[in-house]
């Protein structure tokens, strides 16, 4: 028996990637609206009533409109939302299977799943296990630095980089209120708002998220080994997340996991009491379409 799936917003970067992945699967039947009916609410309602799962790759307001159509059907299909709209909303399950023990089971039984954000994937993967282990306080002041490939920035950014009009590297969201901060706080179990500094480089995909720490400022003045042990314990048996050794030469290539759905976490430390936590992933893989595939399979009982 095949699962009928409708991708609402399959013309964007994430939607195209998801559609390409699903088109090759024999257990999936993709259902689509004709181009002329993409903004026809009645036509969309009809297709939503006929499918098992709707995957939303839309701006936030449009995602909320589609969810309202699903709700009006008396439940409608299961929904996997790749937008920011529902990541901290009541009644939605956060789509990060490795978040904590039992999270994958929660996703599997949920009818409303909000796919994790790309930057948030790396930040929460580093923070949550260490907060749970008591190595970082919930109110600890944290700085999160991150760089992504330009494919995560939407159509205008992609066009600017691919036409040669964009700079080689730039900081952005300098209002210091990036849309991923609420989910990082909620699922990283932070009570103090972190200083989040995102940036984009002139490469299509790939991501590094890093968090510098002064060990003497943390509870009990822990050693870096404690961080490694906590992360290794948290991700033991996880198919897509692993603790990795610091590469020889002291460098990390942001593009090394491109084309995969994996994420590596690192603990780099020196004898002077400084440590650096780093997560490496493909922003279109584990940071977007890859995590959507993980969540979809769970929702389908795979």
pLDDT digits (tens, 9 = 90+) for 7-16: 999 888 899 9
pLDDT digits (tens, 9 = 90+) for 69-100: 999 998 799 999 999 999 999 999 999 999 99
Do 127 and 242 sit in the same domain of this protein? yes
Do 138 and 110 sit in the same domain of this protein? no
- Percentage above 70 pLDDT, the chain: 100
pLDDT digits (tens, 9 = 90+) for 210-255: 999 999 999 999 999 999 999 999 999 999 999 999 888 889 999 9
3-state secondary structure of 168: coil
Do 112 and 122 sit in the same domain of this protein? no
Q: Could you give the number of structural domains in the chain?
A: 2
Sheet holding 112-115, edge to edge: 28-31, 3-8, 53-56, 78-81, 112-115, 93-95
**Residue-number span of the structural domain to which 166 is assigned:** 118-283
**Predicted pLDDT of residue 36:** 78
**Predicted pLDDT of residue 247:** 82
Burial of 249 (0-12, 13-18, 19+ CB in 10 A): exposed
Q: What is the CATH number of the domain that holds 101?
A: 3.40.50.720
Residues 114 and 121: beta-carbon distance below 8 Å? no
CA angle 97, 76, 299 (to 5 degrees): 20
Q: Is the pLDDT of residue 134 over 90?
A: yes
Do 12 and 75 sit in the same domain of this protein? yes
- Please report which confidence band the pLDDT of residue 151 belongs to, taking 50, 70 and 90 as the band edges: very high
**Predicted pLDDT of residue 203:** 96
Q: What are phi and psi of 172, to 5 degrees?
A: -145, 180
Q: Is the pLDDT of residue 169 over 80?
A: yes
Do 109 and 220 sit in the same domain of this protein? no
Do 216 and 78 sit in the same domain of this protein? no
Residues 151 and 285: beta-carbon distance below 8 Å? no
Q: Is the pLDDT of residue 153 over 90?
A: no
**Predicted pLDDT of residue 21:** 95
Do 131 and 228 sit in the same domain of this protein? yes
Q: Is the pLDDT of residue 59 over 80?
A: yes
Do 110 and 149 sit in the same domain of this protein? no
- Please report which confidence band the pLDDT of residue 144 belongs to, taking 50, 70 and 90 as the band edges: very high
Task: Kindly state the helix (H) or strand (E) to which residue 297 belongs, with its residue range.
Answer: helix 290-299
pLDDT digits (tens, 9 = 90+) for 117-130: 999 999 999 999 99
pLDDT digits (tens, 9 = 90+) for 185-199: 999 999 999 999 999
84: nearest Cα among 14, 179, 161, 169: 179
Beta carbons within 10 angstroms of residue 105's beta carbon: 11
Beta carbons within 10 angstroms of residue 199's beta carbon: 14
- Please report which confidence band the pLDDT of residue 131 belongs to, taking 50, 70 and 90 as the band edges: very high
Do 125 and 271 sit in the same domain of this protein? yes
pLDDT digits (tens, 9 = 90+) for 24-58: 899 999 999 888 787 888 999 999 999 999 999 99
**Predicted pLDDT of residue 54:** 97
Q: What is the CATH number of the domain that holds 192?
A: 3.30.360.10
How far is Cα 299 from Cα 112, in angstroms, rounded to an integer? 9
Taking the model in full, what pTM does it have? Answer: 0.95
From the candidates 57, 70, 100, 118, give the one annotated as an active-site residue: 118
Tokens 């195209």 sit on residue:
16
- Please report which confidence band the pLDDT of residue 143 belongs to, taking 50, 70 and 90 as the band edges: very high
Do 93 and 159 sit in the same domain of this protein? no
Do 257 and 128 sit in the same domain of this protein? yes
**Is residue 57 flagged as an active site residue?**
no
How far is Cα 96 from Cα 104, in angstroms, rounded to an integer? 8
């Amino acid at each position: 028996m095949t699962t009928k799936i409708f991708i609402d917003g399959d013309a964007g970067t994430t939607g195209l990637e998801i559609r390409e992945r699903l088109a090759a699967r024999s257990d999936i039947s993709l259902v689509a609206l004709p181009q002329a009916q993409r903004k026809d609410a009645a036509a969309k309602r009809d297709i939503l009533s006929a499918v098992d799962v709707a995957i939303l790759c839309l701006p936030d307001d449009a995602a909320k409109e589609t969810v309202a159509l699903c709700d009006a059907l008396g439940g409608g299909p299961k929904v996997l939302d790749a937008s920011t709209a529902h990541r901290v909303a009541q009644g939605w399950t956060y789509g990060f299977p490795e978040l904590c023990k039992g999270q994958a089971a929660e996703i599997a039984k949920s009818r409303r799943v909000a796919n994790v954000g790309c930057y948030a994937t790396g930040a929460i993967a580093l923070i949550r296990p260490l907060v749970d282990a008591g190595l970082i306080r919930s109110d600890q002041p944290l700085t999160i630095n991150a760089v992504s490939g330009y494919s995560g920035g939407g159509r205008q950014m992609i066009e600017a980089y691919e036409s040669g009009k964009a700079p080689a590297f730039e900081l952005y969201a300098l209002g210091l209120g990036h849309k991923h901060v609420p989910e990082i706080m909620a699922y990283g179990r932070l009570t103090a708002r972190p200083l989040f500094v995102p940036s984009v480089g002139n490469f299509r995909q790939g991501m590094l998220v890093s968090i510098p720490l002064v060990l003497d400022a943390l509870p009990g003045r822990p050693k870096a080994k404690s961080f490694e042990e906590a992360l290794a314990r948290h991700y033991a048996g996880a198919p897509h997340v692993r603790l990795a050794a610091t590469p020889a030469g002291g460098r990390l290539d942001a593009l090394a996991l491109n084309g995969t759905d994996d994420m590596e976490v690192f603990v780099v430390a020196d004898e002077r009491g400084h440590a650096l936590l780093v997560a490496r992933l493909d922003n279109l893989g584990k940071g977007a379409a890859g995590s959507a595939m993980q969540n979809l399979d769970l929702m389908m009982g795979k």
